[in-house]
Structure 1
């Protein structure tokens, strides 16, 4: 049975009242994978913006009660935060595939492109120390609204995505592949996010589609995404 773990920042943990792209991806895997699977991870809550803490369990109305809430995602957390956590998370929960969306928060608040790329390498090393055959599917950083008004930040995001592609190529190996997704197809900050960063339902579908398309094309895992 395949085991998937979502690893990410605020766009992955999601806020109270949202479905999250994790939910959209689970629905897609449920409908297309063709076999049993599990969603695993050490956390389960959503972020409650009113309380400024990850304490909510209130997903959007209509969320399937069978949806497994498990993940390793945090509001304001990036590669530098997850690198020290991933070895124990992989050891405890034994994921086969890590679905990773990280980097925007690093570049926005903590580290430049070079140091963030170094933390990607650290993350991969730590994950493999616990799971030598774990697979990685990584979403490039999607620029947020800040990139429209801050050219230096936009350049840093572009540089990191170049370094991320090089890092994925350097660290890829047959028993533990690193797969970089394409940017989310047709992603529009004006219509797919509610604040220029965090996804609306249409954005959730497009983020899930990026992961689904990469896994289907590279590994024959599931199919292309259909919203």
Structure 2
């Protein structure tokens, strides 16, 4: 059984009423991969905007493995202390990571955030020296259109992330940088300039699927018609 753990912020946990990219990727893998697999992690809820808490189970399609390690307003600095225990308990094989926007927006600069990436990888490997990781660069959101300094920090972090991934990659524990979704448009693929709508969910799921297929020969190219 191959175990994938989605790790992320509000774009990964999703909010009440959504499918999430986690669901879209699971549906794709069901059609593209022959072997048994599942999604794992210590959490399984959506974020409830009314309650302002991650307490919702109102998935648009609840019939899938909903486990994850994602949190609204959480970033690399929040997940680094949690990842070792999460990997040990879930016995995850592959981490699918989408973090950084919240760090740069509220907590750390690009260089500090990159250091937290290193801490995260170290902690994950302390739990499983053979853990595989696929990391998605930060997708600039609507704030980056109006705030030049923030946009510059996002660009710098993505450069540092690429260098960090290259530096930390090793054969027994591959660290793979996914390509940003090439056609992602925050005005068409999000509902508020940051959080993905249905088309955005598909494009994020496709980024992970394509990275694993191209680098590791896993699965198949993402099908545009995947539900």
TM-score category of the 2 structures, normalised to the smaller one: over 0.9
Which residue of 1 is the match for residue 168 of structure 2? 171
How far apart in 2 are the matches of 1:5 and 1:112? Answer: 26
Deviation at 1:89, TM superposition (A): 0.3
Q: Give a deviation string over 1:134-160, Cα, whole Å, max 9, x none.
A: 000000000000000000000000000
Q: What TM-score do you get using the length of structure 1 for normalisation?
A: 0.98
Q: Please list, as runs of the form range in 1=range in 2, the aligned pairs for 1:122-161 lying within 5 A after superposition.
A: 122-161=119-158
Any residues of structure 2 matched to 1:97-116 within 5 Å, and which?
A: 97-116=94-113
Out of 53, 56, 73, which is 1:76 matched to? 73
Shift of 1:34: 1.4
Deviations 1:104-145 (A, max 9, x none): 000000000000000000000000000100000000000000
Aligned position for 2:89: 92
Q: Within 1, Cα distance between the matches of 2:47 and 2:38?
A: 23
Aligned partners of 1:185 and 1:209 also within 8 Å = no
8 Å CA contact retained: 1:44, 1:70: yes
1:174-199, Cα deviation, whole Å (9 max, x unpaired): 00010000011200000100000000
Contact 1:16 / 1:48 at 8 angstroms: preserved in 2? yes
Detail structure 1 runs of 4+ shifted over 2 Å in the superposition. none
Q: CA RMSD in A?
A: 0.6
- TM superposition shift of 1:64: 5.5
- 2:190 & 2:97 partners in 1: Cα distance? 19
Separation in 1, partners of 2:4, 2:127: 15
TM-score scaled to structure 2, two decimals? Answer: 0.98
SS at match of 1:44: coil
Match of 2:19 in 1: 19
Is residue 181 from structure 1 mapped to residue 178 from structure 2 by the alignment? yes
Residue ranges of structure 2 left out of the alignment (5+ in a row): none
Any stretches of 5+ residues in structure 1 without a counterpart? none
Q: 2:221 aligns with which of 208, 219, 224?
A: 224
1:39 — aligned with what? Answer: 39
Using the alignment, how far apart are the partners of 2:220 and 2:137 within structure 1? Answer: 21
SS of the counterpart of 1:17? coil
Distance 2:8 2:85 in 1: 16
Aligned residues: 224
Give the match's secondary structure for 1:98. strand
* Match in the other structure for 2:190: 193
